[in-house]
Chain A
Amino acid sequence: MFGDYSLGDLGSIFVMQGFAGLILFSVYVLMALGLAIIFGQMGVINMAHGEFMILGAYVTWMTSSFFQSHLPSLFSGYFFLAMILAFIASGALGMLVEWVLIRHLYKRPLDTLLATWGLSLMLQQAYRSVFGAREVGVELPQWMLGSLHVSDSIEVPINGVFVMCLTVLITVGVAYVMYKSRWGRQVRAVVQNRIMAGAVGINTEKVDRYTFGLGCGIAGVAGSAFTMIGSTGPTSGQLYIVDTFLVVVFGGAASLLGTIASAFSISQTQSTFEFFMSGSMAKVLTLLAVVGILMLRPQGLFALKVRK
């Protein structure tokens, strides 16, 4: 397939394909981070993860409409405020859900699958009733559209670069909170041994609530960022849920590093395959590879050594 093209053409295509892989990588990390906390750390199988993301997307859409009609002069900067609001909204909903639903199910982790799946259906219908069944178009400020012109044939999408930066920022933030802060130590203590953590004076209920809230909040930010590359509708969350679980499970549930490594390997495999064959075939081969590796390493790429 390369016979007809000049070296220059090929070179720039490989550069751009490299960027495509990196962008896919950032998207995967961003959508999986929230779940890595909730599923990885807390063991809650949160099927409503996509719906928390879409809540963030709807918040972004509302902020954008508000700025358009009331503060058009500040429109170019609305996205940053929208992401903060998305974090707050999804995080708050997450904490509410934890209080009403999830905290009763910590001893029955498999039941969280059904409970959160039901929650996802309820949220979808709620979005449909409130925002309408049709997709909404989130308008972006001008500077976020288009691409950076590197050379005549190499163009880097600005929104991709934006997602990459955001991903790095959030990952560093989460890593700091989880591994360097006092609160992160408490979270990890609760994860490893809930009873013992309680016995040494950690308020496990509070830790659980904030951890779940943090995971959902990050999902909200991811949803907000994805308005740049995807659709915003009542069921759009469903588009992400499978890939998200794939990344987290493949990475090894309780490991942040594993999530990143797995997002990297899956995204690179997929984007390389996508280039050499058709999109659906690439997906099939990627999934086959993942299944194969999981058969050899059921615990995922990276797993914490924990005494059970």
Chain B
Amino acid sequence: MSDEANKGLLSPLRRKLLMGMAAVPAITMLPKASFAQAPATSAVNTTGLAVTDTEVTVGILHSATGTMAISETGSIEAEKLAIEQINAMGGVLGRKIKFIQEDGASDWPTFAEKAKKLLVNDKVAAIMGCWTSASRKAVLPVMEQYNGMLYYPTFYEGLEQSKNVIYTGQEATQQILAGLNWIAKEKGAKSFFFIGSDYIWPRTSNKIARKHVENVLKGKVVGEEYYALGSTQFNSVINKIKLTKPDVIFTDVVGGSNVAFYKQLKAAGIDLSKQALLTISVTEDEIDGIGGENIAGAYACMKYFQSLDNPNNKTFVPAFKKMWGEKTVIGDVTQAAYLGPWLWKLTVEKAGSFDIDKIAAASPGVEFKGAPEGYVRIHENHHLWSKTRVGRAKLDGQFELIYETADLVEPDPFPKGYQ
């Protein structure tokens, strides 16, 4: 009855057992000497971070309570999995990763306060955390003032770049443009109806999408609507959609509203196998609440789907399910959160140091070949080069991959001509 993820959270014993099991093969493969060869702490940590000869401490900062817990739980799970796997492989520069988890409680000032606590009191070497743009904006000045390193997993609106943040999700142009190009070409779509929740991410994303539709695709936006966060009544806008008969409904509705929107769309007789709908806000996580039967046939545009068929993903998905339960699903952001600890490890090893300044400088060019989404690389602007993919939702709540860009898409947080 209670979901598996929660049991996992409640059972440290089970986690320890799993950790032990995961570690056994890796440790036997590892040359015994590797720990002894770990470089001296004084050499790799010149700024007083929480690094000892055997351990390094990082922070995990997400909402485990409050309204955002629904979304952020997956990120916490992914980061813990990554840390365990890294430890099983011998850690970072011969040091085991220890993590301190703080709860942002879906409250932005709390995020800032906890970030400060992690940096000033705990002296963590990096923070994996934040989810909403609001929480990131609250934490950003703290990261810059106390010189920390944040690995931020969510796809977001762009228009930001910081020495102290690595953005492991896609920024808006990276996520949207390829999807719009695809649907314009594949479906011959000319008219678009935008509907989103009323806050910065949907508004910025739709602005970019509108410019692209009007200037590049030479199409028409026949409607652009915003509903307050948490809205549960969409019948009026659905009538407008029926009246304007757009080729494509383009949505970035989030949270509980999503569930109401798709249920009412279906109830109003709009058949998603005939009416093209492209969403940038629904991952496997959201479908859990929406119900596969309500959204089957819709297209989602992002960089990762649980069903991706590549060797990395084939080991990642079972490992995740083994740790957090068979029923858990893995959405785009969960995968991006999983990249955080790995990218940090690779960057530390490239820099040969835990120092924040050296990590920030060494980040561009760091590549992670084991990413479940496939190869990724950090760009000069601290975002990731990644592919954009379009998936079609199936009845069972999974996506079927329909299209992916041939090459990695360059991140462009300050897109010219789109602002």
A, B in one complex: yes
Closest CB of chain A to B146's CB: distance in Å? 29
Partner of B236, one of A20, A125, A129, A226: A20
Please, which residue of chain B has its CB at the minimum distance from the CB of A133? B69
Whether B291 contacts A132 by the Cβ 8 Å rule is no
Count the B residues whose beta carbon is within 8 Å of the partner chain — how many? 51
Say yes or no for A131: interface residue by CB 8 A criterion. yes
Please, which residue of chain A has its CB at the minimum distance from the CB of B271? A146
Whether B233 contacts A238 by the Cβ 8 Å rule is no
Whether A128 contacts B69 by the Cβ 8 Å rule is yes
Whether B237 contacts A149 by the Cβ 8 Å rule is no
Residues A139 and B291 in contact in the complex (CB < 8 Å), given A134-B3, A229-B264, A234-B69: yes
Please, which residue of chain B has its CB at the minimum distance from the CB of A148? B269
Please, which residue of chain B has its CB at the minimum distance from the CB of A161? B267
Whether B256 contacts A230 by the Cβ 8 Å rule is yes
Whether A274 contacts B236 by the Cβ 8 Å rule is yes
Closest CB of chain B to A20's CB: distance in Å? 3
Residues A228 and B263 in contact in the complex (CB < 8 Å), given A133-B69, A137-B289: yes
B281-308 with Cβ < 8 A to chain A: 285-293
Whether A275 contacts B260 by the Cβ 8 Å rule is no
Count the A residues whose beta carbon is within 8 Å of the partner chain — how many? 56
Whether B236 contacts A271 by the Cβ 8 Å rule is yes
Say yes or no for B5: interface residue by CB 8 A criterion. yes
Query: In the complex, A233 Cα to B73 Cα: how many Å?
Result: 13
Q: Mark A132-152, 1 if CB is under 8 A from B, else 0.
A: 111111110000011101000
Please, which residue of chain A has its CB at the minimum distance from the CB of B234? A279
Query: In the complex, A17 Cα to B268 Cα: how many Å?
Result: 11
Partner of B289, one of A65, A158, A232: A232
Whether B269 contacts A149 by the Cβ 8 Å rule is yes
| Residues of chain A with a CB closer than 8 A to B227's CB | 279-280
Say yes or no for A62: interface residue by CB 8 A criterion. yes
Please, which residue of chain A has its CB at the minimum distance from the CB of B243? A13
Closest CB of chain B to A247's CB: distance in Å? 13
Residues A235 and B70 in contact in the complex (CB < 8 Å), given A13-B242, A23-B235, A279-B227: yes
Query: In the complex, A282 Cα to B227 Cα: how many Å?
Result: 9
Say yes or no for A278: interface residue by CB 8 A criterion. yes
Say yes or no for A24: interface residue by CB 8 A criterion. yes
Say yes or no for B6: interface residue by CB 8 A criterion. yes
Say yes or no for A257: interface residue by CB 8 A criterion. no
Whether A134 contacts B291 by the Cβ 8 Å rule is no
Say yes or no for A231: interface residue by CB 8 A criterion. yes
Please, which residue of chain B has its CB at the minimum distance from the CB of A277? B225
Say yes or no for A109: interface residue by CB 8 A criterion. no
| Residues of chain B with a CB closer than 8 A to A138's CB | 291
Closest CB of chain B to A200's CB: distance in Å? 44
| Residues of chain B with a CB closer than 8 A to A129's CB | 6
Say yes or no for B1: interface residue by CB 8 A criterion. yes
Query: In the complex, A197 Cα to B228 Cα: how many Å?
Result: 45
Please, which residue of chain B has its CB at the minimum distance from the CB of A135? B289
Whether A145 contacts B70 by the Cβ 8 Å rule is no
Whether A160 contacts B6 by the Cβ 8 Å rule is no
Partner of A133, one of B70, B263, B287: B70
Closest CB of chain A to B211's CB: distance in Å? 19
Q: Mark A217-248, 1 if CB is under 8 A from B, else 0.
A: 00000000010111111111011100000000
Whether A233 contacts B256 by the Cβ 8 Å rule is yes
Partner of B239, one of A17, A125, A146: A17
Whether B288 contacts A136 by the Cβ 8 Å rule is yes
Whether A132 contacts B259 by the Cβ 8 Å rule is no
Say yes or no for A100: interface residue by CB 8 A criterion. no
Whether B228 contacts A158 by the Cβ 8 Å rule is no
Q: Mark B252-266, 1 if CB is under 8 A from A, else 0.
A: 000111111001101
Whether A128 contacts B65 by the Cβ 8 Å rule is yes
Whether A132 contacts B269 by the Cβ 8 Å rule is no
| Residues of chain B with a CB closer than 8 A to A157's CB | 235, 264, 267-269
Say yes or no for B310: interface residue by CB 8 A criterion. no
Please, which residue of chain B has its CB at the minimum distance from the CB of A16? B239
Say yes or no for A9: interface residue by CB 8 A criterion. yes
Residues A238 and B289 in contact in the complex (CB < 8 Å), given A145-B266, A231-B259: no
Closest CB of chain A to B152's CB: distance in Å? 20
Say yes or no for B226: interface residue by CB 8 A criterion. yes
Whether B235 contacts A238 by the Cβ 8 Å rule is no
Whether A158 contacts B256 by the Cβ 8 Å rule is no
Whether A134 contacts B225 by the Cβ 8 Å rule is no
Closest CB of chain A to B297's CB: distance in Å? 14
Residues A280 and B236 in contact in the complex (CB < 8 Å), given A134-B70, A230-B256, A234-B70: no
B189-247 with Cβ < 8 A to chain A: 198, 224-228, 230-233, 235-240, 242-243
Can you pick out 13 interface pairs between chain A and chain B where the beta carbons lie within 8 Å of each other? A134-B5, A134-B73, A229-B267, A230-B260, A236-B256, A238-B230, A271-B233, A274-B236, A275-B236, A278-B226, A279-B198, A279-B236, A283-B231
The 3 A-B residue pairs with the shortest CB-CB distance in the complex, in nearest-first order: A135-B289, A231-B259, A20-B235
Using a CB–CB cutoff of 8 Å, the interface residues on chain A facing chain B are: 5, 9, 13, 16-17, 19-20, 23-24, 27, 62, 65, 125, 128-139, 145-147, 149, 153, 155, 157-160, 226, 228-236, 238-240, 271, 274-275, 278-280, 282-283
Extra contacts, 16 of them, besides A147-B267, A280-B227 (Cβ < 8 A), are A9-B243, A129-B6, A131-B1, A132-B73, A134-B3, A134-B285, A153-B242, A229-B232, A229-B260, A231-B289, A234-B69, A238-B67, A240-B232, A275-B240, A278-B225, A278-B226
